[in-house]
Amino acid sequence: MTQAGAGARLSGTHTADQFYSWVPAAMYPSDVSPIPEGFYDTGNKIAVNSKYADVASASCSMILDYASGPGFGEEAYFIDQGEDSAAKNSYAYGMYEFSTPAQASALVNELAAKFASCGSFTYSNSSGASAPVTLTVGPRSEAAEVTSANTAVDLRLTLTYKGKTDVGDLVFAADGNVVVFATSASTTGTLSTAVDNAKVVQETLSAFTSAEAGGASPSAGASSAAASWTPCVVGGQTVPPSIEYSSPEWEKKCGVTAPADAVRVYSTDAAPARVLAAVGGGTR
Render pLDDT for 82-111 as a digit per residue (tens, 0 to 9). 888 888 898 999 999 999 999 999 999 999
Residue 241 resides in a domain:
yes
CA–CA gap between residue 100 and residue 111 (Å, rounded): 17
Beta-sheet strand order (sheet of 151-161): 32-41, 76-84, 89-97, 178-186, 164-175, 151-161, 130-137, 120-124
Residue 9 resides in a domain:
no
CA–CA gap between residue 197 and residue 155 (Å, rounded): 11
CB 120 within 8 A of CB 134: yes
* Helix residue ranges, H only, 214-268: 248-254
The whole-model pTM stands at 0.77
Quote the mean pLDDT of the chain. 76
Residue 7 resides in a domain:
no
Query: Cα angle vertex 96, ends 110, 73, to 5°?
Result: 60
Residue 5 resides in a domain:
no
Number of domains composing the chain: 1
Average pLDDT over residues 10-14: 90
What burial class does residue 117 get, using C-beta atoms within 10 Å of its C-beta: 0-12 exposed, 13-18 middle, 19+ buried? Answer: exposed
Of the candidates 220, 80, 88, 102, the one whose C-alpha atom is nearest the C-alpha of residue 150 is 102
Sequence-distant (6+) residues with CB within 8 A of 126 are: 236
Render pLDDT for 43-58 as a digit per residue (tens, 0 to 9). 888 999 888 878 988 8
Residue 253 resides in a domain:
yes
Predicted local confidence at residue 75, as pLDDT: 95
Residue 224 resides in a domain:
yes
Residue 197 resides in a domain:
yes
Residue 84 resides in a domain:
yes
Residue ranges making up the domain that contains 93: 16-268
Predicted local confidence at residue 225, as pLDDT: 32
**Lowest mean per-residue pLDDT among 63-67, 70-74, 278-282:** 278-282
**HSE, side-chain direction, 13 A CA sphere, residue 191:** 22
Render pLDDT for 182-234 as a digit per residue (tens, 0 to 9). 999 998 999 988 889 999 999 999 999 989 888 765 544 333 333 334 556 66
Residue type, 49: N
Number of H helices, E strands in the chain: 6, 10
**Lowest mean per-residue pLDDT among 164-168, 249-253, 254-258:** 254-258
CA–CA gap between residue 81 and residue 55 (Å, rounded): 24
CATH code (residue 179):
3.40.1000.70
> Which of 46-50, 253-257, 265-269 holds the top average pLDDT?
46-50
CA–CA gap between residue 120 and residue 202 (Å, rounded): 30
